[in-house]
Amino acid sequence: MIAQGLDKLTYQTGFGNHFSSEAIPGTLPVGQNSPQECAFGLYAEQLSGSAFTAPRKDNLRTWLYRRHPSVGHGPFEAVPRPDLRPPDDTNSEVTPDQLRWRPDEASGSGLDFVQGLRPMCGSGSPLQKSGYQIYTYAFTEAMEDFCFCNADGDFLLVVQQGPLLIVTELGLLHVAPCEVCVLPRGMRFAVGSTDGALARGYVLEVFEGHFTLPDLGLIGANGLANPRDFEVPVAHPCSERQQHQGHRLIQKLGGRLFAAQQQWSPFDVVAWHGNYVPYKYDLRKFCPMNTVRVDHADPSIFTVLTCPSAVPGTAVADLVVFPPRWSVAENTFRPPYFHRNVMNEYMGLICGAYEAKATFKPGGSSLHVCMSPHGPDLTSYNAATAIDTRAPQRLPSSTMAFMFEVNHTPRVMRSALQSPHLDQEYRQCWQGFPVAKAFGGKATSDAKAIDQPAENGTGALPGGQAQKEEVKAETISSTG
């Protein structure tokens, strides 16, 4: 399936367009979608991504013209894959702990994309069409003789290592590290790496809605992820030889996998038109807007794609990128601030370093859930308070971090909590901050004492509140 030179594939460009493509001239019907008989005897089939009656601006569907109707497969049989079940009381936990996972350098060998999916956390229900699930993936093997169809939601893939070749019903996508792609609910696809080497990345699956571009408001008509930089495949029916190979269809529904056999390729689409499409985007094309005088802007300024919920301004999930850029704010603590967020933040690092965490490694992940405090680690804090902010700083071109910002508070899969890659030392990165200078300037806490549950069960720190209040009063009067 995978061959050289595929990074030079042809694409159509734009976001949300009504695209059309035919591999054989004359196969797309003119003036109608479903002629009594299609050209070449092809079968017309509609794939819907929204309710038929969704408002026009949200209405998504594509017409496919194919050699066989999709329905001619054999019966579905359950495939055991309990780890893909949506998160519930039996397989996952709720925890306010700040979590981080080191990159997994070992897994993935001998696995394909589906076998190499590792659920990390999630919330909601695919059957209720609400919420999301987040995974990492690692694999070496192409999906040679089977395709995947996700009836539970859209997959957004963030490629961290190893370019992917993704065969879809609408054509081919080559997706390299620092690129992302969206594979819409119900569309059949097969993923391979282009060189057989380890491919690794992250997946955000949304059980409701679809990704769209954020509004630009006062920014104006241009900036952030520009629509013309999104790339959509052209029709690419499989070869005559592949056409007749037996194909297995693996379908995910309600977090369960089902397999059915069919005697022809699912990638037999000769022509198509519509606006329900897979697409890819290169994060290096992101055009960031940022503060040019004081203060650190909220990360929403770096939203690439958003999957809106019914609540205005609150997304089911956002893809946010922290791209290479200039940092110029004056008299400002430039990296991300200390904060507690009502939304939940799953972060990954594609390459380089993240400005708020000196020890975050490419391929790693972190999770800070609703209201769990986090922010710059001690090393980043010290560096950022020491610089001269009259000079601009360049965050290097080799850096690319991202965040899945999600509304529903996630449950963390037990397998992720028990993973050997879970960084048990993560919280140490915030230990050793001295008490504010005017209050003594000494480190407040013994990190070990903090990391053990308080003996009195109240979480009180050694020293006691009353004693600390005294110090505070004293220092303020002596400096005032």
Question: Which residues, listed in sequence order, are joined to residue 189 by a DSSP beta bridge?
Answer: 148, 168
Closer to ligand OMD by CB, 301 or 417: give it.
301
Cβ at position 127, least distance to ligand OMD in Å: 31
Tell me the C-alpha distance between 470 and 173, whole Å.
Answer: 65
Q: Is 187 a binder of ligand OMD (CB under 6 A)? A: no
Among the residue ranges 309-317, 339-347, 393-401, 431-439, the one whose residues contact Fe ion (CB under 5 A): 339-347
3-state secondary structure of 446: coil
Residue 374 annotated as part of some ligand binding site: yes
Residue 339 annotated as part of some ligand binding site: yes
Cα dihedral 125, 131, 136, 140 in deg (nearest 10):
60
How many of the chain's residues bind Fe ion (CB under 5 A)?
A: 1
Kind and range of the H or E element at 256? Answer: strand 256-262
403: partner contacted, choices Fe ion, ligand OMD, none (Cβ within 5-8 A by kind): ligand OMD
Residue 337 annotated as part of some ligand binding site: no
Closer to ligand OMD by CB, 341 or 445: give it.
341
Q: Is 336 a binder of ligand OMD (CB under 6 A)? A: yes
CB contact at 8 A, 227 and 14: yes
Closer to ligand OMD by CB, 153 or 335: give it.
335
Q: Is 377 a binder of Fe ion (CB under 5 A)? A: no
Tell me the C-alpha distance between 403 and 197, whole Å.
Answer: 26
Spell out, one character per residue from 129 to 148, where the chain touches ligand OMD: x when CB under 6 A holds, - when not: --------------------
Closer to Fe ion by CB, 345 or 423: give it.
345
Q: Is 374 a binder of ligand OMD (CB under 6 A)? A: yes
How would you class 297 by CB atoms within 10 Å of its CB: exposed for 0-12, middle for 13-18, buried for 19 or more? Answer: exposed
Closer to Fe ion by CB, 318 or 345: give it.
345
How many of the chain's residues bind ligand OMD (CB under 6 A)?
A: 9
Q: Is 356 a binder of ligand OMD (CB under 6 A)? A: yes
CB contact at 8 A, 160 and 202: yes
What is the number of the residue whose Cβ is closest to ligand OMD? 336
Instruction: Tell which positions 42-71 bind Fe ion, by CB under 5 A.
Output: none
Contacts of 364 (CB under 8 A, 6+ apart): 100, 101, 102, 103, 348, 349, 423
CB contact at 8 A, 290 and 301: yes
Closer to ligand OMD by CB, 99 or 356: give it.
356
Q: Is 205 a binder of Fe ion (CB under 5 A)? A: no
Q: Is 345 a binder of Fe ion (CB under 5 A)? A: yes
Q: Is 355 a binder of Fe ion (CB under 5 A)? A: no
Furthest-apart CA atoms within the chain: distance in Å:
91
348: partner contacted, choices Fe ion, ligand OMD, none (Cβ within 5-8 A by kind): none
Amino acid residing at 107? S
Cβ at position 106, least distance to ligand OMD in Å: 27
Q: Which residues of 416-452 are buried (b: 16+ CB within 10 A; e: fewer)?
A: bbebebbbeebbbbbbbeebeeebeeeebbeeeebee
Residue in the structure block whose two tokens are 């956390």: 121
Q: What is the DSSP code (8-state) at residue 240?
A: H
Cβ at position 413, least distance to Fe ion in Å: 21
Instruction: Using CB under 6 A, pick the residue from 269, 403, 406, 413 that binds ligand OMD.
Output: 403
Q: Is 299 a binder of ligand OMD (CB under 6 A)? A: yes
Closer to Fe ion by CB, 6 or 301: give it.
301
Among the residue ranges 57-65, 140-148, 333-341, 457-465, the one whose residues contact ligand OMD (CB under 6 A): 333-341
Query: Parallel, antiparallel, or unpaired for β 231-233 and 11-13?
Result: antiparallel
Cβ at position 183, least distance to ligand OMD in Å: 26
Tell me the C-alpha distance between 211 and 276, whole Å.
Answer: 11
Cβ at position 377, least distance to ligand OMD in Å: 10
Nearest CA to 231 out of 3, 1, 19 is that of 19
Q: What is the DSSP code (8-state) at residue 54?
A: S
Contacts of 180 (CB under 8 A, 6+ apart): 156, 157, 158, 159, 280, 281, 283, 304, 305, 319
Q: Is 348 a binder of ligand OMD (CB under 6 A)? A: no
Q: Is 324 a binder of ligand OMD (CB under 6 A)? A: no
Q: Is 345 a binder of ligand OMD (CB under 6 A)? A: yes
Closer to ligand OMD by CB, 245 or 382: give it.
382
Q: Is 18 a binder of ligand OMD (CB under 6 A)? A: no
Tell me the C-alpha distance between 298 and 295, whole Å.
Answer: 9
CB contact at 8 A, 193 and 139: yes
Q: Return the active site residues.
A: 296
244: partner contacted, choices Fe ion, ligand OMD, none (Cβ within 5-8 A by kind): none
Could you list the residues that contact Fe ion (CB under 5 A)?
345
Could you list the residues that contact ligand OMD (CB under 6 A)?
299, 336, 339, 341, 345, 356, 368, 374, 403
Question: Which residue positions form the known binding site for homogentisate?
Answer: 354, 374
Question: Which residue positions form the known binding site for Fe cation?
Answer: 339, 345, 374
